[in-house]
A and B are shown apart, each in its own frame.
Chain A
Amino acid sequence: MERLYEILEEMQPEYDYHTETALIDDHLLDSLTVLALISELEDEYDITIPAVEIVPENFNSAQAMWKLINRLMEE
């Protein structure tokens, strides 16, 4: 989880990812950042994130992303 926070802070340092829960809904992360983030997460955790998983519920917070990563790692 700590590594995920690091990745997010490297991407967009201006937000507090420990508390932010509407990263997509509030347009804090744009589609370019999401694409870069997905590419980084796939490399870091050796997972494949399918297009169908790119929904606000999976990317609105670091917690939601962590849940997605764990689910995809188990599959």
Chain B
Amino acid sequence: MISYCSIEYLLIFLPVVFLGYQILPKSVRRYFLLAASYGFFWYLSGPLLAWHVAVCVCVWLTGLRLQHLLNERNKAVKAAERGQRKAIKEACAGRMRRWVILAGVVCFGILLSLKYTPFFVENLNGLFRHLGIHIQMKVPSFAVPIGISFYTLQAMSYVYDVQKEKIPADGNFFRLTMWLSFFPLLMEGPIARYGSLAEKIWEVPRIQGENFQKGLWRILYGVMKKMLVADRVNTAVELLYTDFANYDGGMVFLAAVLFTLQEYMEFSGTIDIVIGTGECLGFVLPENFNQPFFAKTISEFWTRWHISLGAWLRDYLFYPLSMSQPLKNLTKKCRARLGNHYGPLVTSSVALFAVWLFNGLWHGAGWSYIFFGMYHFSLIVTGSFLAPPVIAFCEKHKIDRKWFFYRLFQMLRTALLVSIGEMFFRALSLKHGLSMFARMIRHASLSSFTDGTALKLGMDLPDYLIVAAAVLFVFVISLLKERGCNVRERLYAKPVLVRALVTGLLVTLILLFGAYGKGYVPVDPIYANF
């Protein structure tokens, strides 16, 4: 599959887009950018583009309808007596809700039909077999448009935001479509909100030297992460996840760690390229990662990893559910009995269950993804449940929770739990994932690290050294960012010769140490399939 790290994208598509964007007049430039986005979509998904257009038309019309209802309501409220206003608002809210539900049925209906029907039919067939019912349906197979899970969430966030009057509906179909199809965001996000981006893209500012240079560094940094680490460990990851039964627990643990590393470098590297592309054009796209492996708890990890998905789930699922009347009533009852920590924990557990079920299923139609969601749900709820006794324990035994080694322990523990979760996520099936976990425990051994097995996974010693050096480089950059240092800003303040040297050095590192050519299979964009 073509990726943002491919030659086609970086050396053909991007230069053509940048050049066309810069030389065309403003009135044409925005349509050129829209055409480039749809051209990119067509290149990846062909006629499946029609599904995307259908979603754009649906949310555009829904937005206009909602805005019309809001305008009518405001007029009626203005003219009404104070006592009647509440009833007018409630009547309007009911009508708007029906339109939002209709848009949800269309948008999520397309997503569910194309992506999840085979999974449901397979499971239904399995259930029938189990119950001895002699009905077996043919499992359908549908081609799925690129990035459908991402743009569906974006589209629904627009409808919800219009309904809640956070943004006005957009009367310009092309502006709305541009935001929903903007080519850097198509494959792996981040899930950008209409309010923060649509208007800015539509302004299509000219490319500025400073933005372009900083964007280029960000792109090179992303390419480096992907080609030096994610692609280089790919052969080993493929081998270990396919043939795990032939290896001991140490190697299965290595599989978990290598995939976690690969996924982070691939996903965050792609996001670097995406944000860098936006920056070159003069747009600030939302960040999706904030040094996730410095997180001390799983809850914190999810505020630093795939931030835009977490924020979407928080704003459009967690809080609306937690603030629904039944759950509010439950919160009140539980607070009265269990106090201010455990009371809301009961309510939020109900909302979190829905969030993590959605999160798991969003990643893919498979039981391993549902398990992945439930795994993180359990860890987060357990973490919240244990927080008060852990704090009490630390206070009683005079353990400073801000002490470096205590925080290091928390970070390593979180990274370990995340890696185990990622093992289930990457495993070929849930059954494989459970077998891998069992093997890791039952056949725990470090012998394969010393008997040469680790060097027979398609990675030799130089491969490990290159990966280690690249990871160290990313760690240093992350540490600087964590401490508030903006590396690119500092670099930009240096003389042009230094900047050129650094740019050249990054390109040289990629060309010399990137994993490409004979013997290497680049990893497919992991999140593009979601």
Q: How far is the CA of A39 from the CA of B322 in the complex (A)?
A: 11
Q: Specify which chain A residues have a CB less than 8 angstroms from the CB of B299 in the assembled complex.
A: 30
B37: chain A residues at CB < 8 Å are: none
Across-interface contacts of B340 in A (CB, < 8 A): 10-11, 32-33, 36
Chain A residue nearest to B320 (CB atoms) is A51
Is B331 an interface position by the 8 A CB rule? Answer: yes
Given A33-B340, A43-B332, A49:B384 Cβ within 8 A:
no
- Contact A39:B320 (CB < 8 A) given known A31-B348, A33-B340, A52-B164: no
Question: Which residue of B314, B320, B332, B341 is within 8 Å of A32 (Cβ)?
Answer: B341
A43 to B328, alpha carbons, bound, how many Å? 11
* Chain B interface size range: 20 to 34
CB contacts (< 8 Å) of A10 on chain B: these are 340
A39-B344 contact given A49-B323, A54-B323, CB 8 Å threshold: yes
Minimum CB distance partner of B85 in chain A: A75
Q: Map CB proximity to A onto B335-361 as digits: 1 under 8 Å, 0 otherwise.
A: 100001101110110000000000000
Query: Would you call the interface of chain B mostly helix, strand, loop, or mixed?
Result: helix
Main secondary structure on A side of the interface with B: helix
Query: Which residues of A lie under 8 Å from residue B492 when comparing CB positions?
Result: none
Q: How far is the CA of A54 from the CA of B164 in the complex (A)?
A: 12
A50 (CB) vs chain B CBs: closest residue: B323
Given A39-B328, A42-B328, also A32-B319 (CB < 8 A): no
A38 within 8 A of B: yes
A30's nearest neighbour on chain B, judged by CB, is B299
By a beta-carbon cutoff of 8 Å, the part of chain A in contact with chain B is 10-11, 27, 30-33, 35-36, 38-40, 42-43, 49-52, 54
A-B interface, 7 closest residue pairs, ranked by CB to CB distance from nearest: A35-B344, A51-B323, A51-B319, A52-B164, A51-B320, A36-B340, A32-B344
Q: Can you pick out 25 interface pairs between chain A and chain B where the beta carbons lie within 8 Å of each other? A: A11-B340, A27-B303, A30-B299, A31-B314, A32-B348, A32-B384, A33-B340, A33-B344, A35-B322, A35-B331, A35-B344, A35-B348, A36-B331, A36-B341, A36-B343, A39-B331, A39-B332, A42-B328, A43-B332, A49-B323, A50-B323, A51-B315, A51-B322, A52-B164, A54-B319
